Amino acid sequence: MKKFIAFIFHNYFATYLPSSDSKIMGHISKKIRGFLFKMYTQSDGNNINIQRKTIYSSKVNIGSNSGIGIGCIITGPTIIGNNVMMGPDVLIYTTNHETSDVNIPMCEQGFKTAKVVKIGNDVWIGARVIILPGVTIGDGVIIGSGTVVTKDVSPYVVFAGNPGRVVKNRKQLRS
């Protein structure tokens, strides 16, 4: 019952509150959305920032000091580490349509089993990134805006493009 109440309050009230960085009620909006997120998902992170107009599954777990940007959609089981920044309009998909039987229309085949998306600690995900089912993103990764992530991303790289590819290694940038 508490999940249902949190879902209703988030979708019909809290999602329309001002952005967390708003000077008018921003701090209160952040607290309300964070509280409802934790009720709905049973996440254990502290100081989380769930921005307005987000849609997420009850199977999302988010770490401390992490956030979900304005207008993001997370469709299923997703583990988000600590200190993760997520820009607006990020899409995280954990399932896809079944397409294996060419004798049955794809729209009648249902969906494949959900695959967990894992996002490490200290990750920055730019605006309008698309992350596909089963992807693991390592610690310290930067994903450029508009990137389509179709495969696992090694720790401490800058990853960008469509499809995404490694652009730089962050550890080699130190000199």
Distance CA 136, CA 78 (A): 10
Beta bridge partners of 80: 62, 119
Identify the CA nearest to 139 among candidates 151, 122, 160. Answer: 122
Strand order in the sheet with 117-119: 60-62, 78-80, 117-119, 136-137
Spacing of C-alpha 150 from chain mean position: 15
| Annotated catalytic residue 10 | no
**Torsion region of 122: left, alpha or beta (phi above 0 gives left; psi -120 to 50 gives alpha):** left
Beta bridge partners of 92: 74, 131
Given the residues 97, 165, 170, 171, select the one marked as catalytic.
97
Q: Which residues are catalytic?
A: 97
